[in-house]
Amino acid sequence: MKSIGVFTSGGDAPGMNACIRSVVRSALYLGIDVYGIKYGYNGMIEGDIYKMKSYSVSNILQKGGTILKSARSNEFRTKEGRQKAYEQLKKRGIEGLVAIGGDGTLTGANLFYEEFGIPTIGCPGTIDNDLYGSDYTIGFDTAVNTALDAIDKIRDTANSHDRVFFVEVMGRHSGYIAINCGIGGGAEMVMVPETSVTIQDVIDTLKAGENRHKTSHIVIVAEGGEQGDAIEVAAKVSKELPKLDIRVTNLGHVQRGGAPTALDRMIASRLGMAAVEGLVNGQKNSMVGIIDNKIVFTNIKLAISKSKPINDELMRLVEVMSI
């Protein structure tokens, strides 16, 4: 393999830059040319592609966001769009790809590989941590730490005013961020899409807390849950318990930014190098992940089709710790 392309796609995640850096330097180390493809699949279609050097990735390891920019591409969902993307790669002699992103990115990569056969390795880059085939995805740890910093601050004010806070965190259809924030932030309750929680369950938890002389409560609400977003949950609870002093905070996109944590820098650097080595060693349509601290390759099809359930032990931990 003489030449590869690297791109980031979908929602950005802290550590993507560290992964780009690792891909570029690992490829150059092996004498392989690297092209940076900007704006994900859109840039591939448009030919927004440039040759990267070692200095192209200087000083980015510690920075949030992605220097290659990111996008969600509708055109790549069409056969014509993918054909255009293929022509752009062919023109430059790009023989392999490293796709850094989440579910949608890997779904596109799988389709592209099946149609055009360009070997592709996916690096799991999403704050959601929802990809089968890796214990952690790039950006998840940073997002949880960012959210925890906010939750600690919310706890201070919740305590001062004897309030109930409903705090919404990201995760799309996955409760990983929520459950980790719940445990790390000492939340009284966590509502995740993976489990069914009724409004009566929330009311019971709040009442039980009051009976144990708790004066403040934090309920973490993962987006995508069956009871709706934090505003909706708070409204339903408030209707039943009108005396409660309730506030809602949606942490939103703040969870996607910021300098990556040490763990995310490590994961991103390891996955980037493994992706390049995987391409060189003949991996064709795989996602590289880390399981039990070891590099593992999983077929992309499997990575996007299998779910990664939340460990029951973690759910129990929230419950036990909140008594």
Q: Which residues bind ligand F6P (CB under 6 A)?
A: 11, 102, 126-128, 170-172, 223, 256
CA distances from 1 to 56, 164, 277, 296 (A): 21, 58, 11, 21
Shorter beta-carbon distance to ligand F6P: residue 43 or 175: 175
Cα–Cα dist 218/154, whole Å: 8
* Nearest distance from C-beta of residue 10 to ligand F6P, angstroms: 6
**Partners of 124 in beta bridges:** 101
Cα–Cα dist 316/323, whole Å: 12
* Nearest distance from C-beta of residue 140 to ligand F6P, angstroms: 10
Tokens of 181: 């924030």
Under a CB-based contact definition with an 8 Å cutoff, are residues 288 and 123 in contact? yes
**CA-wise closest residue to 119 among 148, 83, 94:** 94
Cα–Cα dist 97/279, whole Å: 8
Shorter beta-carbon distance to ligand F6P: residue 33 or 223: 223
* Nearest distance from C-beta of residue 97 to ligand F6P, angstroms: 20
* Nearest distance from C-beta of residue 172 to ligand F6P, angstroms: 4
* Nearest distance from C-beta of residue 104 to ligand F6P, angstroms: 8
Three state DSSP letters for 118-142: CCEEEEEECCCCCCCCCCCCECHHH
Pairing of strands 49-52, 33-37: antiparallel
* Nearest distance from C-beta of residue 164 to ligand F6P, angstroms: 24
Shorter beta-carbon distance to ligand F6P: residue 128 or 188: 128
**Of all residues in the chain, what percent are helix, strand and coil, respectively (each to 5)?**
45, 20, 35
Shorter beta-carbon distance to ligand F6P: residue 94 or 251: 251
**CA-wise closest residue to 3 among 85, 93, 105:** 93
Shorter beta-carbon distance to ligand F6P: residue 104 or 278: 104
Shorter beta-carbon distance to ligand F6P: residue 22 or 105: 105
Nearest 5°: the CA angle 126, 128, 132 is 85
φ/ψ (deg, to 5) at 49 = -135, 135
List the catalytic residues.
128
* Nearest distance from C-beta of residue 63 to ligand F6P, angstroms: 18
Pairing of strands 217-222, 164-169: parallel
Under a CB-based contact definition with an 8 Å cutoff, are residues 127 and 138 in contact? no
Shorter beta-carbon distance to ligand F6P: residue 71 or 241: 71
